[in-house]
Structure 1
Amino acid sequence: MKTFTINLKLAELIDAFSLALDLAEGRQLGHARRTASIALLLAMHYGVKGNELNNIYYTAMLHDIGLYDPLDTITAMDQASVIRKHTIQGAKAVADIPYMEPISPFIKYHHERWDGKGEPEGLKGKLIPLPSRIVHLADSIEIFVNTKGADKYSLQNFIMHEAGRKFDPNLAKIAYAITKYDEFYETMSHPIALLDDLRPQDQIQVDDKGLLAIGHGLANFIDNKSPYTANHSIEVARYTVELGKHLGFKDDRLHKLEVAALLHDVGKLGISNKILHKPGKLTDAEFQVITFHPYYSEMILSQVKGFNEISLWACLHHEKLDGSGYHRQYDASKIPPEARIIAIADVFQAIVSDRPYRAGLPYEKVMTIMQSMAEERHLDYDIFAEFAKIAPRLLEHPETKQQKKIARMND
Structure 2
Amino acid sequence: MYYDRIIPMKEELSIDIIGLAGAYSYALDCIEAELVNIKNKHGKRVAYISICMAEYWKIQGDELQDLAMCALLHDNALTQYISEELKKDSVINCKKDLSEKKTNLHCIYGEKNITKIPFKTDVSNVILYHHEHADGTGPFQKKWNEIPLFARIIHLADTIDIIGNNTGSGNNSWNFICQYLLKNRDGLFDSECVNAFFHAFTHSESFICLRDNSFETKLWEIIPRQKQVFDWKTCKNVADFFAKIVDYKSSFTSRHSIGVAEKAAFFAQYIGYDSINVQKIYLAGALHDIGKMAVGNEILEKPDKLTDDEFSKMKNHAGYTYLILSEVNDFEEIRDWAAFHHEKLNGKGYPFGKTAAELNEPERIMACIDIYQALTEDRPYKKGLSHEKTCEILDDMAQKGFVDSDISKKIRECFGGI
Question: What's the TM-score, normalizing by structure 2?
Answer: 0.85
**Secondary structure in 1 aligned to 2:103?**
helix
**Secondary structure in 1 aligned to 2:402?**
coil
Check whether the contact 1:277–1:356 (CA below 8 A) recurs between aligned residues: no
What CA distance in whole angstroms lies between the structure 2 residues aligned with 1:275 and 1:100?
A: 40
Partner of 1:409: none
What CA distance in whole angstroms lies between the structure 2 residues aligned with 1:46 and 1:86?
A: 28
What CA distance in whole angstroms lies between the structure 1 residues aligned with 2:209 and 2:202?
A: 11
What CA distance in whole angstroms lies between the structure 1 residues aligned with 2:69 and 2:152?
A: 14
The alpha carbon displacement at 1:186 in A equals 2.5
What CA distance in whole angstroms lies between the structure 2 residues aligned with 1:230 and 1:278?
A: 15
Check whether the contact 1:6–1:205 (CA below 8 A) recurs between aligned residues: yes
| Aligned-residue identity in percent | 32
1:132 maps onto 2:151 in alignment: yes
Which stretch of the first structure deviates more once superposed, 228-237 or 323-332?
228-237
**Secondary structure in 1 aligned to 2:141?**
coil
What CA distance in whole angstroms lies between the structure 2 residues aligned with 1:289 and 1:197?
A: 35
Where does 1:47-58 land on structure 2 (aligned, <5 Å)? 47-58=58-69
What CA distance in whole angstroms lies between the structure 2 residues aligned with 1:148 and 1:78?
A: 19
Partner of 1:180: 203
What CA distance in whole angstroms lies between the structure 2 residues aligned with 1:356 and 1:290?
A: 19
**Secondary structure in 1 aligned to 2:229?**
strand
Check whether the contact 1:114–1:165 (CA below 8 A) recurs between aligned residues: yes
**Secondary structure in 2 aligned to 1:205?**
strand
1:367 maps onto 2:391 in alignment: yes
Check whether the contact 1:111–1:118 (CA below 8 A) recurs between aligned residues: yes
1:163 maps onto 2:185 in alignment: yes
What CA distance in whole angstroms lies between the structure 2 residues aligned with 1:328 and 1:77?
A: 39
The alpha carbon displacement at 1:238 in A equals 2.5
* 1:167 partner letter: F
Q: 2:113 aligns with which of 78, 90, 93?
A: 93
Question: What's the TM-score, normalizing by structure 1?
Answer: 0.87
**Secondary structure in 2 aligned to 1:105?**
coil
The alpha carbon displacement at 1:321 in A equals 0.5
1:42 maps onto 2:53 in alignment: yes
The alpha carbon displacement at 1:208 in A equals 3.3
* 2:254 partner letter: A
Partner of 1:261: 285
What CA distance in whole angstroms lies between the structure 2 residues aligned with 1:191 and 1:21?
A: 19
What CA distance in whole angstroms lies between the structure 2 residues aligned with 1:82 and 1:323?
A: 47
What CA distance in whole angstroms lies between the structure 2 residues aligned with 1:314 and 1:125?
A: 43
* 1:159 partner letter: L
What CA distance in whole angstroms lies between the structure 2 residues aligned with 1:64 and 1:263?
A: 18
Check whether the contact 1:295–1:315 (CA below 8 A) recurs between aligned residues: yes
* 1:11 partner letter: I
Q: CA distance change for structure 1 residues 283 and 208 in 2, over 3 Å: closer, same or farther? A: same
What CA distance in whole angstroms lies between the structure 2 residues aligned with 1:112 and 1:213?
A: 28
Check whether the contact 1:340–1:380 (CA below 8 A) recurs between aligned residues: yes
**Secondary structure in 1 aligned to 2:417?**
helix
Q: Unaligned regions of 5+ residues in structure 2, if any?
A: 1-6
Check whether the contact 2:66–2:119 (CA below 8 A) recurs between aligned residues: no
Deviations for 1:72-109, whole angstroms, at most 9, x for unmatched residues?
87243576776311111111111023337833521111
What CA distance in whole angstroms lies between the structure 2 residues aligned with 1:255 and 1:54?
A: 25
1:65 maps onto 2:87 in alignment: no
**Secondary structure in 1 aligned to 2:383?**
coil
What CA distance in whole angstroms lies between the structure 2 residues aligned with 1:90 and 1:241?
A: 27
Q: 2:307 aligns with which of 283, 302, 310?
A: 283
**Secondary structure in 2 aligned to 1:138?**
helix
The alpha carbon displacement at 1:10 in A equals 3.6
* 1:195 partner letter: L
Partner of 1:309: 333
The alpha carbon displacement at 1:319 in A equals 0.3
Check whether the contact 1:58–1:103 (CA below 8 A) recurs between aligned residues: no
* 2:48 partner letter: S
Partner of 2:3: none
Partner of 2:141: 122
The alpha carbon displacement at 1:51 in A equals 3.7
The alpha carbon displacement at 1:199 in A equals 1.0
What CA distance in whole angstroms lies between the structure 2 residues aligned with 1:78 and 1:34?
A: 19
Count of matched residue pairs: 393
Partner of 1:244: 268
Partner of 2:18: 11
